[in-house]
Amino acid sequence: MRRWAVTILLALGVILGYVDRTNISIALAAVDFRTFFHLTDTERGLLSSSFFWTYTALQIPMGLLVDRYGVRIPLAVGFALWCLVGAATSMTTTFSQLLACRLLLGIAESVAWPAGFSWIRSNISEKDRGMATGIFVSSSKWGPAAGAALASWLISDYGWRWMFLLLGLGGLIWLIPFLLFVRDTPRVVRTGGAMEVSEVPLKYLMKTPQIWGTLIGTFCYNYFLFYSLTWMPAYFVERRHLSLNNMGIFSFFSFAGSATMAIGAGWVADRMIERGRDAVNVRRWFTIAGLVCASSEVIGALSSSNRIAIFFAVFSMTGLGLATANYWALTQALVPGTGGGRLAGLQNTALNLAGIVAPVVTGWLKEVSGGYLLPMQAIWVVLLIGIAAYAFLIRERLAWHTLRPEIAATS
């Protein structure tokens, strides 16, 4: 029960992080915020992307840091800093100050995912890992769901400055239970026989089709996700003419549906594996199914009906939840024994490259085409590439000899 309680606590921490990283998207949909900073569509895309410039660059270093020093102190320090930076955004008066806050927020939050996945890998067995991963990664959907509703309400009633201040400082409360209850698990080092897989340099992992399939698929999954995080609120307001509050409601249901599906799909996949199904195949097909459902977003984009567009916006995000827990757990199943922070950092780098690319490309395509249709058609193409990566590059676990032939030959 303690392990599950800590898993939920880690997920709550990431929820608060996502609230702080995505509330800018709600602000960018508000007329007074855009007017105050005189923002163009391209600048809106840059602001949405800038968080990921520093966040992505630090994923692998933070993974190595967590593998070396544990989860507790690095995550506590990072969490405190990102809450303070989130609150400091309320005091910005220029575009450059706003951009600086987003870059600092990316630095502070970069430890969250490597720390969470490292803890799960060290404390949760394979038969329960899909459920635990589902709870943890669903935070990436519960956070935007809560953030959209809270930020919309706070901006409408109190203004954008109070929104950033209250959401930033309010998160500091989480540090109390985290520091009281979370302890680092001593690292278990296997002795004898072959070298621990965690000692394999990244260059050997990067020579395998499974890892490349994982990284390509991760990028494609998250290209769609980061469009939804950064531009979907504006799409609801500008293209579908919803009020700010109604936009917050539909955004909430989109991400809440995805989070709920992620937990359920993770649990079902665990039960299938427990009954003897191959872990790689089970998690791979759940991931492919999620990407197929997500690709239905383009149907809404092509429709002139607001009801159809909103339905497919919610359906596509909810369906994506089939992949959410399983594409992360799939990576851990592909390379058993690998250092959790290192592997999470590598995959999270691909994830957040999508966070850099998707907002900027969406803003540029919207500006040159004059609407949202072309950006959403680009999403459909990217998702098809992701489906192909999981279908053709990932078929089985990585064999030891494919990672380090010369060691396998002598062990």
> Residue 387 — pLDDT band, cuts 50, 70, 90?
very high
Q: In the prediction, which pLDDT does 411 show?
A: 43
Q: In the prediction, which pLDDT does 192 show?
A: 37
Q: What total of structural domains would you count in the chain? A: 1
Per-residue pLDDT tens digits for 104-129: 999 999 999 888 878 887 788 767 77
Q: Which domain holds residue 134?
A: 2-184+202-403
Output the pTM of the full model: 0.73
Residue 293 lies in a domain: yes
Residue 195 lies in a domain: no
> Residue 166 — pLDDT band, cuts 50, 70, 90?
very high
Q: In the prediction, which pLDDT does 199 show?
A: 52
Residue 15 lies in a domain: yes
Residue 264 lies in a domain: yes
Mean pLDDT value across residues 284-301: 94
Residue 342 pLDDT exceeds 80: no
Q: In the prediction, which pLDDT does 336 show?
A: 58
Question: What's the chain look like in SS3?
Answer: CHHHHHHHHHHHHHHHHHHHHHHHHHHHCCHHHHHHHCCCHHHHHHHHHHHHHHHHHCHHHHHHHHHHHCCHHHHHHHHHHHHHHHHHHHHCCCHHHHHHHHHHHHHHHCCHHHHHHHHHHHHCCHHHHHHHHHHHHCHHHHHHHHHHHHHHHHHHHHCHHHHHHHHHHHHHHHHHHHHHHCCCCCCCCCCCCCCCHHHCCHHHHCCCHHHHHHHHHHHHHHHHHHHHHHCHHHHHHHHCCCCHHHHHHHHHHHHHHHHHHHHHHHHHHHHHHHCCCCHHHHHHHHHHHHHHHHCCHHHHHHCCCHHHHHHHHHHHHHHHHHHHHHHHHHHHHHCCCCCHHHHHHHHHHHHHHHHHHHHHHHHHHHHHHCCCHHHHHHHHHHHHHHHHHHHHCCCCCCCHHHHCHHHHHHC
Mean pLDDT value across residues 39-54: 87
Per-residue pLDDT tens digits for 170-203: 999 999 999 988 876 554 433 333 334 445 566 7
> Residue 368 — pLDDT band, cuts 50, 70, 90?
very high
Residue 352 lies in a domain: yes
Q: In the prediction, which pLDDT does 16 show?
A: 93
CATH number, position 59: 1.20.1250.20
Tell me the average pLDDT of the chain. Answer: 85
Residue 102 pLDDT exceeds 90: yes
Q: In the prediction, which pLDDT does 13 show?
A: 93
Residue 31 lies in a domain: yes
Residue 382 lies in a domain: yes
Residue 410 lies in a domain: no
